[in-house]
Amino acid sequence: MTEIVNMKNICKSYYMGEEELKILHNVNLIINSGEFLSILGPSGSGKSTMMNIIGCLDVPSSGDYILSGNNINDLDEIDLAKARNKEIGFVFQSFHLLPRMTALQNVELPLIYSGIPSSERRKRAEAILQRVGLGDRMRNLPNQLSGGQQQRVAIARALVTEPTILLADEPTGALDQKTGAQVMELFEELNKDGRTIIMITHDTGIARHAKRVVKILDGYLTEEVQ
Give the per-residue pLDDT at 113. 80
Cα end-to-end span (Å), the chain? 21
pLDDT at 112: 87
- The pLDDT of residue 174 is 87
Residues of the chain short of pLDDT 50, as ranges, are: none
The 3-class SS string of the chain reads CCEEEEEEEEEEEEEECCEEEEEEEEEEEEEECCCEEEEECCCCCCHHHHHHHHCCCCCCCEEEEEECCEEHHHCCHHHHHHHHHHHEEEECCCCCCCCCCCHHHHHHHHHHHCCCCHHHHHHHHHHHHHHCCCCCCCCCCHHHCCHHHHHHHHHHHHHCCCCCEEEEECCCCCCCHHHHHHHHHHHHHHHHCCCEEEEEECCHHHHCCCCEEEEEECCEEEECCC
Q: Residue 164 in contact with residue 196, Cβ under 8 Å? A: yes
Q: What does the pLDDT read at residue 116?
A: 87
Structural domains of the chain, count: 1
pLDDT (0 to 100) of residue 119 = 87
CATH number, domain containing residue 60 = 3.40.50.300
Q: Are 70 and 54 in contact (CB under 8 A)?
A: no
Predicted TM-score (pTM) of this structure: 0.92
State how far the Cα of 169 lies from the Cα of 30, in Å rounded to an integer.
Answer: 19
CB 157 within 8 A of CB 107: yes
Q: What is the pLDDT of residues 6-48, one digit of tens each?
A: 999 999 999 888 899 999 999 999 999 999 999 999 999 999 9
Domain that residue 212 falls in: 3-223
